[in-house]
Amino acid sequence: MIYTCTLNPSIDYIMHVDEFKSGDLNRAKQTFFYPGGKGINVSRVMARLGVETIALGYTAGFTGAFIKDSLKQEHIQNQFIETDGKTRVNVKLKSSDETEINGPGPLISEAKQQELLQQVKEMTDDDTLVIAGSVPSSLPDDFYVEIAEICQKQGTKLVADTSGKALQQLIGSSLFLIKPNHHELADLFNAEVETKEQAAYYGRKLFDQGVSHVIVSMGGEGAVYIGEDQQLFAEVPKGTVKNSVGAGDSMVAGFTAAISQAKPVEEAFRQAVASGSATAFQDDLCNKEDVEQLLNDIEISTIKEETK
C-alpha cells in the first residue's frame, strides 16, 4: 500500500483578485476551497491517476471534517488522527502574482505523536510512505528523521517532499525519492543552482547520500532527474499558469504512481513533469486526461556534463 502523511493539512482558500492592493478593500472575483497540504495533494493526484493510497496525518475541528468529507467524495481512504483545535486555512491569493499565507495549525500532543509513529511501525517492506509538507511547531524538529529511521529498519520505501530544516535533517537517510525545487536545492548546499547542469551536479550529491531518485523542479525552466545510471532533463510544456499550488506535489504523485505501476524511470519522470504542468495550468489539481494530453509534449534529453 502507498501511504501519504500530512502532518499539517489545510483547507486551501484560493482567491482570484484582479488588481490586489495591500491595505485596501479588495473584492475577489472567484474563490475556491480545496482540501490541501502536500501529502493530501499527492493522494488526490494519485487517485486521479488510478493509484490507491491511504492518507495519514492530523485533522481537527470543522475544517478537518471538510478535508475528510472531500477525500471521501474522491474515494480516498484515510486514517487521520483527530486532534484538538482546528485544521488551518491557507490563503492563496492570485493576482498579478501569487501570494500565499499558510497558518500555523493545531498543537499535537505527545500521545498523538506516538499514535502516528505507531501507524508507521505497522507498515512493511511492501509499503511506501510519502511524507510531505512542513512539520508543525509543536512536533520535534526531527520528527521526520524518526519516521525515516523506522522506515529504514523495516524496509518501507520513503518519499520525502519537504523543505528547509526538515529536508536538511533527512539528508543521509535512505530515501526513495525527493523533489526539491532549484531554490530548495540551492539552500541545501548554500550554492547557486540556476542551470540544469548545476541542478544535476547537486542532485547527484543527494543521490550519493542515499536518495534513489532525485527530481529537481525548476518551475517553467524545466526539470532534472538524477538516478542510478541516468541524468535527464525535461522541458516543461508551454501553457498559461493559473495556479501553481500543488504543482510540485503533483510531480511526486506522477512519479510515484508510475513506479508503482512498474513503468520505466524515464516514463515516470515524464509523467511527473506532465502532472506538475497539468496542475499549474488549472485551478485545482490535475486530472488523468490533462496529464495524458501533455505527455507527448515533453521532450527528455540526457544531461552529459555534471560540472557546476
Ligand X SMILES: O=P(O)(O)OC[C@@]1(O)O[C@H](CO)[C@@H](O)[C@@H]1O
Q: State the catalytic residues.
A: 249
By Cβ distance, which residue is nearest to ligand ATP? 248
Other Cβ atoms within 10 Å of 185 Cβ, number: 27
| Cβ proximity of 90 and 10 under 8 Å | yes
Site string for ligand X, 20-39 (x = CB under 6 A): ----------------xxx-
Under the binding rule (CB under 6 A), the answer on residue 54 touching ligand ATP is no
Q: What angle do CA 77, 72, 129 make, to 5 degrees?
A: 25
Task: Choose among ligand ATP, ligand X, none what residue 251 binds, the Cβ cut-off being 5 to 8 Å by kind.
Answer: ligand ATP
Task: Choose among ligand X, ligand ATP, none what residue 219 binds, the Cβ cut-off being 5 to 8 Å by kind.
Answer: ligand ATP
Size of the site for ligand X (CB under 6 A): 15
Task: Choose among ligand ATP, ligand X, none what residue 236 binds, the Cβ cut-off being 5 to 8 Å by kind.
Answer: ligand ATP
**Max CA-CA distance within the chain?**
55
| Cβ proximity of 260 and 232 under 8 Å | no
CA distance 82 to 116: 11
Nearest approach in angstroms of CB 14 to ligand X is 10
Q: Which amino acid is at 58?
A: Y
Tell me how far CA of residue 179 lies from CA of 43, 119, 222, 226, in angstroms: 16, 24, 13, 10
Q: Which residues contact 272 (CB under 8 A, 6 or more apart)?
A: 179, 215, 223, 251, 252, 254, 255, 258
Identify which range of 1-9, 77-85, 204-212, 242-250 contacts ligand ATP by CB under 6 A. Answer: 242-250
Of residues 4, 83, 231, 244, which one binds ligand ATP by CB under 6 A? 244
| Cβ proximity of 102 and 90 under 8 Å | yes
Tell me how far CA of residue 27 lies from CA of 20, 30, 67, 215, in angstroms: 9, 9, 26, 38
Site string for ligand ATP, 278-297 (x = CB under 6 A): --x-----------------
- Which of the residues 217 through 256 are near ligand X (CB under 6 A)? 245-246, 248-249
- Which of the residues 151 through 210 are near ligand ATP (CB under 6 A)? 181
Under the binding rule (CB under 6 A), the answer on residue 41 touching ligand X is yes
Q: Which amino acid is at 154?
A: Q
- Interface residues with ligand ATP (CB under 6 A)? 181, 217-220, 223, 236-237, 239, 241, 244-249, 251, 273, 276-277, 280
Residues making contact with ligand X (CB under 6 A): 8, 10, 12, 36-38, 41, 90, 102, 133-134, 245-246, 248-249
